[in-house]
Structure 1
Amino acid sequence: MLKIGDQAPDFTLEDQNGKMVSLSDFEGKKVILYFYSKDNTSGCTKQACAFGELYPQFQEKGAVVIGVSKDTAASHKKFADKYGLPFILLADPEKRVLELYDVWKEKMMYGKKVMGVVRTTYLIDEAGMIAGVFGKVKAAENADQMLKELK
């Protein structure tokens, strides 16, 4: 499990516009890196829309918001367009980054053990170090919580 003070592992994934994006592209900025289960599900939609609504405030504080799920870039494009999401959504269908950040885990769903994303948000500082780890976050409250974490 990654912890505060660890170097955030770099990665490159495709965004909703078909552009390849690396975490290292944002060196010098704070990054809110949040992992979610699936586009267009109720909790994930609430979480994304809250980040979207507060996005100007994140920008004012010099922070970038990046959402990651195992959905495809095409799915992310539809999701972002449908809800007017102004931030980056990264596609990780091979689950490489989900595993790298230790968010792909066994969990209980409707009484059955399944593998899936445990909703987790990382705050990464300007030097690429992990400044905060927030596990099992509440979807609707996550954006507010992260805004408060930015100094």
Structure 2
Amino acid sequence: MIQRITSGDSAPVFALKDNRGEMIDLASFRGKKVLLSWHPLAWTRVCAEQMKSLEAHWAEFERLNTVPLGLSIDPYPAKNAWAKELGIAKVKLLADFWPHGEVTRAYGLFRQEEGFSERANVLLDETGKVLWIKVYEIPELPDINEVLTVIRNSPAI
């Protein structure tokens, strides 16, 4: 079994296509906090609400020097259609599609039996270290206010 990433660990670096087909390199966000928000599958109700909450709080993330990224194992064309359907224009939705779930596995968040990710939030500091991780039950919508409070209370580097 793959070890789940924990607070204090260096986050595995990666480059994935976003919903627009652009390569997004985690290392390019050094100097900012990064919220990696995993949702199991696009086109599902709770996942949609999770990603829409990131978009709705975009200005607050910017004020907190934090980049929110949505991640799942869905392919980027599907994520692009989904983002358009949901009205997500600012948050990048990353596709950990191929090799299937490789980044998700590196973070220890892949559900082997189902073939998709946990629902989880991982907050990275400005140097790429894990500040906070929370894994949710699949049907549970993460509380965006809790996430923002964690970011507000985390030290700036």
Q: Same fold (TM over 0.5)?
A: yes
Shift, 1:117, TM fit: 1.7
Counterpart position of 2:101: 95
Check conservation: 2:101, 2:116, Cα contact below 8 A.
Answer: no
Check conservation: 2:74, 2:96, Cα contact below 8 A.
Answer: yes
How many residues end up aligned between the 2 structures? 145
Structure 1 residues 126, 79: closer, same or farther in 2, change over 3 A?
same
Structure 1 unaligned segments of length 5 or more: list them: 107-112
Match of 1:57 among 56, 60, 64: 60
Across the aligned residues of Structure 1 and Structure 2, the Cα RMSD in angstroms comes to 1.5
Superposition TM-score, scaled by structure 2 size: 0.86
Letter in 1 for 2:126: E
Shift, 1:96, TM fit: 0.3
Letter in 1 for 2:108: D
Structure 2 unaligned segments of length 5 or more: list them: 153-157
Structure 1: how far apart are the matches of 2:130 and 2:45? 28
Structure 2: how far apart are the matches of 1:139 and 1:68? 16
Structure 2: how far apart are the matches of 1:51 and 1:97? 20
Between the two proteins, what is the percent identity of the paired residues?
A: 26
Shift, 1:115, TM fit: 3.9
| Residue deviations 1:55-108 (CA, integer Å, cap 9, x gap) | 1111111110001101111111111111121211111112100101111125xx
Counterpart position of 1:132: 132
Letter in 2 for 1:118: E
Structure that is richer in strand per residue:
1
Structure 1: how far apart are the matches of 2:52 and 2:140? 10
Superposition TM-score, scaled by structure 1 size: 0.89
